[in-house]
DNA sequence: ACCAGCTCCTGCTTGC
DNA sequence: TGCAAGCAGGAGCTGG
């Protein structure tokens, strides 16, 4: 799925067509994604004005004006593993029925689960074959209390994240650094790809016990995490199987992967004989260089 | 409290 | 060519 850079890219793509708009029509095609959608979900979205589009970790946050009960709410969207959001120019005569994305985008029409049509005539379609994604509506002023957001660690691109805070989060952890970084309580927004990439940039072996890494190397790791994410965002994210930007464009950071998916290739560290290896940690593939990662 | 493993779902790739 | 197993970017939950 979309990790932090992909969600940020989607946010930036949606912002110009959704922020400040009114939702003229909301449609839902099924009652649930990973979990049940909120009661009367489409009904509650219809007619609402959209404020800012924000992001927390891998969650897209769409601020809405007050509902009938008088409280501003935020639409929380998680793309899971296979979620995709597409922007479609709606027909001037009115919104097309759900399932017609194939006509406008060239993609599949199956698994279009939720759609929002703005008064300006854009249709925003959420498509998610595996349905590991999620959506919820929650009072904006209590957003940090939402169960999906409450336990998240610091945003890696904010001032709340540093070598110092990372060192504190890793202190005493007896798990491999790979697993510790995938744990969203340590730092928010990393997934399998960017953990592999950041560890390679930092020269740290994925099996190293998190709590045993020196402060100096944790500082380097914090920097590597930031740089990896910044570079990926600048490239529009990474396009593997499903992911595309909201405008349908492919991200291109996958061409910049140093280790992910490159088993057997030489490591860009350039050390003689350095090859990328693949191991499995807690059921997930880890790619790393045996020479430059220690 | 911490940690490893299982699980949800569909679809693409791989190997026989 | 056809089929089925294996694997995939997440993360909540269970049980040790």
Closest amino acid to nucleotide B7 (CA–C1'): A132
Does A58 qualify as catalytic in the annotation? yes
Mean pLDDT calculated for residue range A131-158? 94
Instruction: Please report, rounded to whole angstroms, the spatial distance between the CA atom of protein residue A113 and the C1' atom of nucleotide C6.
Output: 27
Q: Which of A173, A275, A278, A284 is catalytic?
A: A284
Mean pLDDT calculated for residue range A160-171? 96
- The pLDDT, as a whole number, for residue A267 is 95
- The pLDDT, as a whole number, for residue A232 is 96
Q: C-alpha distances in angstroms, A99 versus A79, A125, A131? A: 18, 9, 16
Name the one residue in this structure whose structure tokens are 């004989």.
Answer: A273
Transcribe A247-279 into DSSP letters.
TSPPP-GGGG-SSTT-TTSBPTT--TT-BEEEE
| Residue A239 CB lies within 7 Å of the nucleic strand C | yes
- The pLDDT, as a whole number, for residue A250 is 80
Name the one residue in this structure whose structure tokens are 């946010």.
Answer: A11
Q: Residues of chain A with pLDDT > 70: what percent?
A: 91
Q: Which tens digit of pLDDT belongs to each residue from A238-247?
A: 987 555 677 7
Name the phi and psi angles at A123, rounded to 5. -110, 125
Does A2 qualify as catalytic in the annotation? yes
Q: Which tens digit of pLDDT belongs to each residue from A69-123?
A: 889 999 999 999 999 999 998 654 444 555 444 444 433 368 999 999 999 999 9
Structure tokens at A1: 């799925």
């Amino acid at each position: 799925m979309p990790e932090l850079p992909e969600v940020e890219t989607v946010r930036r793509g949606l912002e110009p067509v959704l922020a400040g708009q009114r939702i003229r029509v909301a449609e839902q095609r099924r009652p649930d994604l990973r979990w049940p959608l909120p009661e009367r979900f489409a009904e509650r979205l219809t007619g609402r004005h959209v404020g800012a589009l924000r992001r927390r970790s891998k969650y897209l946050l769409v601020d809405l004006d007050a509902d009938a009960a008088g409280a501003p709410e935020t639409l929380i969207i998680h793309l899971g593993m296979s979620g995709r959001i597409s922007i479609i120019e709606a027909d001037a005569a009115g919104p097309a029925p759900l399932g017609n994305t194939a006509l406008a985008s060239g993609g599949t029409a199956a698994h279009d689960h939720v759609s929002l049509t703005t008064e300006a005539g854009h249709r925003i379609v959420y498509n998610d074959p595996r349905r590991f994604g999620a959506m919820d509506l929650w009072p904006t002023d209590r957003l940090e209390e939402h169960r999906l957001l409450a336990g998240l660690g610091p945003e890696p691109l904010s001032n709340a994240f540093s070598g110092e805070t990372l060192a504190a989060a890793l202190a005493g952890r007896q798990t491999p650094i790979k697993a510790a970084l995938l744990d969203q309580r340590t730092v928010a927004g990393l997934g399998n790809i960017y953990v592999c990439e950041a560890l390679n940039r930092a020269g740290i072996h994925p099996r190293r016990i998190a709590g045993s890494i020196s402060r100096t190397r944790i500082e380097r790791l914090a920097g590597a995490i930031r740089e990896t994410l910044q570079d990926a965002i600048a490239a529009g994210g990474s396009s593997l199987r499903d992911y595309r930007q909201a405008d349908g464009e492919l991200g291109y950071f996958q061409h910049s992967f140093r280790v992910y998916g490159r088993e057997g290739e030489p490591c860009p560290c350039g050390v003689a004989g350095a090859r990328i290896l693949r191991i499995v940690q807690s059921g997930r593939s880890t790619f790393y260089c045996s020479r430059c990662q220690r």
